[in-house]
Amino acid sequence: MASDSSELVTAEAPAGSAWRRQLAGAVFGARRTDVASERATRGVWRGLLRNPSALVGIVLLSTLTAMALAAPHLFPGDPLDMVAPPFEWPGADPLYKLGTDSLGRDVAAGIAHGTRVSLLIGASAAGIGLLIGMLVGALGGFFGGVTDDLLARVTEVFQTVPSFLLVVVIVAIGKPSVTVIALAIGIASWPTVARIVRAEFRTLRQADFVLAARSQGFSNARIIFGEILPNALPPVIVTASVMIASAILIESSLSFLGMGDPNVVTWGGMIGAGRDSLRTAWYLTALPGAAIVVAVLALNLLGDGLNDALNPRLRERA
Amino acid sequence: MTRRTRMAGIARRTVWQAVPTVFAIVVLNFFLLKLMPGDAADVLAGEAGSATVETLAALRAKFGLDQPLLHQLGSYLSHLAHFNLGYSPRYDAPVMQLILARLPNTLILMSSALAFAVVAGVVFGAIMAHWAGKWPDRVLSVLALLLYSTPGFWIGLLAIILFSVRLGWLPSGGDVTVGANLHGVAYAADVAKHALLPAATLATFFVAIYARLTRAAMLEVQRQDFVRTAHAKGLHPLRVSVRHVLRNALMPLTTMVGIHFGTLLGGAAVTETVFSWPGLGRLALDAVMARDFSVLLGVLLLSSMLVIIANLGIDLLQAWLDPRIT
């Protein structure tokens, strides 16, 4: 008995805030103090690296990010400049490997610069949606009662409006610039995140560590943002990558219809402009579309990999 | 509790909760649309080339656009109570008539797309679950992910290039052959031929979702004890798969189908534009550009009611399938 109590006294709690512990533990795996629990503490990073399709997704995504960052150096100048005779097929002109469009603009430059816009809009729209959704879901799931009812109603109202039409209306309210488009897509996509976060909070608010935090006198805000939210993150991380993918798809549909930002080159805009010459110059449709497929595929593969790595049930089965 | 009383209870509760939701949706959409700069009078003046200030004022007075905001909202709500959706300045017709003219087209497109997606998705999902881990599963999984990642309008355009331009098998747009004036079966066949490509394009995205969902649900259900009992009883494996496993795996699938049915109105807008299909999605997009608020409010209201009805249908279907749900 005496030895037990001395062990309790000498064992130290790991230093650092709850966030750092949770994130580090989730990503890199907890320090293996107990051999028996080795399996359960494998981190996300390890899980991702062992999954071949997730690896492909990460490689593709890194290539796209590199291309986005290097675009002004690889293709200097404005991609909207007319540089060559129009309707040159890919491979016909050694200077412009992917050909030119109906106004003589370089297709390769357009695709490279379009990567910047797509990734930027995708990431910021997903970020805005996550922010709003996590806030609404956390407040509703934690407090319950009237607050939860009200927020659930608001979520329901936003879900019944068709999201694409909502995006179009919001872009029509503001002007069609990259900022407004990202804001619009974020506002249209927060209900999904809110539902997931609310479900997680309803489960987690009855956990023991919340009781411990409350008995230590932590305020509600500290419990929500400091204790529960770090533990509710795994499904949110998976949803984040899917949200970026769907944001890229929505943005490309918007630009295809001609409602996107006219001052930048986007993949959807290139497809929309190439629609007039569909019969003869179908490469103008095929090439930017292939770029969209690669980007969205990479994000979906990453999302699948994260889901497999973070989902404990699948891990048990494997 | 009998099945009928359970389903009646669900229907009653949904209708009771739907009324404040619909009201909130109408008010929210109204104020959202009024935030848009410009109104129908500006658009009409722009299309006519120019207009004097007096003409603009007369147009606004004619369509009630110069009244105070709350006044407009009040009159819209009172019209709505009499099932009058208002008048469209742009098309010069009652909104209800415009919507009812295009509603069948959208319903044909949506239903055929979802039906095709469900059938194909369940079949692929069942194949993937049966050969889980082996090469048919891997190939179909990659194919499903690829279909999920392609934008619908791009597949539509490529389909037009392949089937209309190169092969010439199917028409590239519209819903009927212009000037053909067909009747009866020939008319139905014509519409079907025109609807094939748009419906297939719309379905590609959902096939991927349903296939993966069916695969996951079937794998989950196959591990249950009652499936082992069914096999031990000596039932034919196909009968076990279809009658026991699939029926339980259909629950998450029906939820998803219901959600998608409700949201397909807005999601079909781009496909309708690619194929020039005269549906409600294109009507809504044109209404946004033309600042035609009555039409847009009507379409948004219809879409919300469609979502509520679809959710109710799914709840009833699940109550019918699963006796544990009340």
d(CA A208, CA A222): 16
Instruction: Please name every residue paired with A105 in a beta bridge, in sequence order, or none if there are none.
Output: A82
**Tokens linked to A102:** 């109906």
Beta strands at B87-88 and B93-94: parallel, antiparallel or unpaired: antiparallel
CA dihedral over A263, A184, B283, B76, signed as positive or negative: negative
Size of interface A-B (CB pairs under 8 A): 116
Distances (CA, A) of A141 to A129, A146, A232, A276, B12: 17, 11, 11, 50, 27
- Give chain B positions within 8 Å (CB) of A293: 146, 149-151, 154
Closest CA to A83 of A65, A64, A107, A63: A107
CB atoms within 10 A of CB B230: 19
Per-position b or e across A193-216, b if 16+ CB within 10 A of its CB:
bbbbbbebbeebbeeeebeebeee
CB distance A289–B149 less than 8 Å? no
Rounded to 5°, the CA angle B1-B4-B8 comes to: 100
Q: Read off the pLDDT of residues A183-226 as tens digits, 9 standing for 90 and up.
A: 999 999 999 899 889 988 888 888 888 889 989 998 888 888 88
A248, pLDDT greater than 90: yes
Closest CA to B118 of B219, B255, B248, B310: B255
Res A313: pLDDT:
54
The amino acid at B72: Q
Contact A94, A154 (CB under 8 A): no
CA dihedral over A89, A93, A97, A100, signed as positive or negative: negative
* Helices A163-173, B3-34: crossing angle, 10 deg rounding: 10
Q: What is the DSSP letter of B94?
A: E
A264, pLDDT greater than 50: yes
Q: B-contacting residues of A 240-279, CB under 8 Å?
A: 245, 249, 252-253, 256-257, 268, 271, 275, 278-279
**Tokens linked to A114:** 């379009």
- Give chain B positions within 8 Å (CB) of A159: 307
**Tokens linked to A131:** 């922010």
Those residues with Cβ within 8 angstroms of residue A182's Cβ, 6 or more apart along the chain or in another chain: A120, A121, A124, A125, A128, A247
Phi and psi, residue A106, nearest 5°:
-70, 125
Per-position b or e across A87-106, b if 16+ CB within 10 A of its CB:
bbebeebeebebbbbeeebb
- Give chain B positions within 8 Å (CB) of A292: 150-151, 154
**Tokens linked to A156:** 């329901």
Question: Does the global pTM surpass 0.90?
Answer: no
A123: exposed, middle or buried (C-beta count within 10 Å: 0-12, 13-18, 19+)? Answer: middle
Nearest to B35 among A173, A286, A301 (CB): A173
Closest-CA distance of chain A to residue B184, Å:
33
Nearest to A172 among B29, B36, B146 (CB): B36
Nearest to A173 among B36, B267, B285 (CB): B36
Res B1: pLDDT:
66
Closest CA to A232 of A262, A251, A260, A205: A205
Helices (H) and strands (E) in chain B, counts: 13, 2
C-alpha B216 chain-centroid distance: 25
A75: exposed, middle or buried (C-beta count within 10 Å: 0-12, 13-18, 19+)? Answer: middle
CB distance A289–B145 less than 8 Å? no
d(CA B111, CA A212): 53
A3, pLDDT greater than 50: no
Rounded to 5°, the CA angle B264-A168-A162 comes to: 25
The amino acid at A65: T
Confidence label for A35 from pLDDT (cuts 50, 70 and 90): very low
Phi and psi, residue A47, nearest 5°:
-60, -40
What value of ipTM does the predicted structure carry? 0.86
* Helices B135-149, A283-310: crossing angle, 10 deg rounding: 120
Q: Read off the pLDDT of residues A222-243 as tens digits, 9 standing for 90 and up.
A: 888 888 888 888 888 888 998 9
Report the SS3 class of residue B88.
strand
Res A189: pLDDT:
92
Contact A79, A107 (CB under 8 A): no
d(CA A105, CA A101): 6
Closest-CA distance of chain A to residue B191, Å:
24
Contact B124, B132 (CB under 8 A): no
Res B147: pLDDT:
92
Mutate one of A160, A255, A267, A283 to test the B interface: name it (highest B CB count within 10 A). Answer: A160
Quick one: which H or E segment has residue B87? strand B87-88
CB distance B146–A293 less than 8 Å? yes
CA torsion A298-A303-A305-A311 (nearest 10°) is 180
Nearest to B148 among A169, A252, A300 (CB): A300
Nearest to B24 among A157, A170, A289 (CB): A157
Q: Read off the pLDDT of residues A153-169 as tens digits, 9 standing for 90 and up.
A: 888 888 888 889 889 98
Res A121: pLDDT:
94
Q: What is the pLDDT along chain B (326 residues), one digit of tens a residue?
A: 677 887 888 788 778 878 888 888 888 888 888 888 888 888 888 888 888 888 888 888 888 788 888 888 888 888 888 888 888 888 888 999 999 999 899 989 999 999 999 999 999 998 888 888 888 888 898 899 999 999 999 999 999 999 988 888 888 888 888 887 888 888 888 888 899 999 999 999 899 999 988 998 888 888 888 888 888 988 888 888 888 888 788 888 888 888 788 777 777 889 999 999 999 989 999 888 888 888 888 888 888 888 888 888 888 887 777 777 65
Report the SS3 class of residue A266.
coil
Res A52: pLDDT:
84
CB distance B145–A293 less than 8 Å? no
Distances (CA, A) of B248 to A291, B2, B240: 39, 20, 11
**Tokens linked to A12:** 């130290």
> For chain B, which residues lie within 8 Å of any Cβ of chain A, measuring from their own Cβ?
20-21, 24-25, 28-29, 32-33, 35-37, 145-146, 148-154, 157-158, 160-161, 165, 262-263, 265-267, 269-270, 273, 284-285, 288-289, 296, 299-300, 303-304, 307-308
Res A39: pLDDT:
45
Q: Read off the pLDDT of residues A65-84 as tens digits, 9 standing for 90 and up.
A: 999 999 999 888 888 888 88
Greatest alpha-carbon pair distance for chain A in Å reads 89
A161 close to B (CB below 8 A): yes
Closest-CA distance of chain A to residue B148, Å:
8
The structure tokens 């805030």 sit at A17
- Give chain B positions within 8 Å (CB) of A257: 270, 273, 285
